[in-house]
Amino acid sequence: MNLSDIQAKEIVSLIDGRKLGRVVDVNINAEDGKINYFVAEHRRFFKRLFGKDGETKFTFANIEKIGEDVILVKL
């Protein structure tokens, strides 16, 4: 799976069903090249409406299932 495949999917929390947005960035460990965490950005409308920073970070350990259109995370 490519990063572009992951970026095309909506991130949804299994805890409360909240849509967390889409992956916009990845933090990579410079020493070993492994992914530390993904960064999902909320839709800009909600960011302006609620005044939050609009980012959620999650790791591979948080991912429960990757579907065709959605990535389910336990956050």
* CATH code of 36's domain: 2.30.30.240
Tokens 């572009």 found at? 4
Quote the number of domains for the chain.
1
What's residue 42's pLDDT?
81
Rounded Cα distance between 42 and 24, Å, is 10
60-67 long-range Cβ contacts below 8 angstroms, 24+ apart: 60/35, 64/14, 66/1, 66/6, 66/9, 67/9
Q: Which domain holds residue 56?
A: 3-73
What's residue 75's pLDDT?
87
User: What is the pTM (predicted TM-score) of this model?
Assistant: 0.80
What's residue 44's pLDDT?
59
Tens digit of each residue's pLDDT (9 = 90 or more) over 25-71: 999 999 999 999 999 988 655 555 555 567 899 999 999 999 999 99
Give me the DSSP letters along 32-63: T--EEEEEEE--HHHHHHH----EEEE-GGGE
What's residue 52's pLDDT?
52
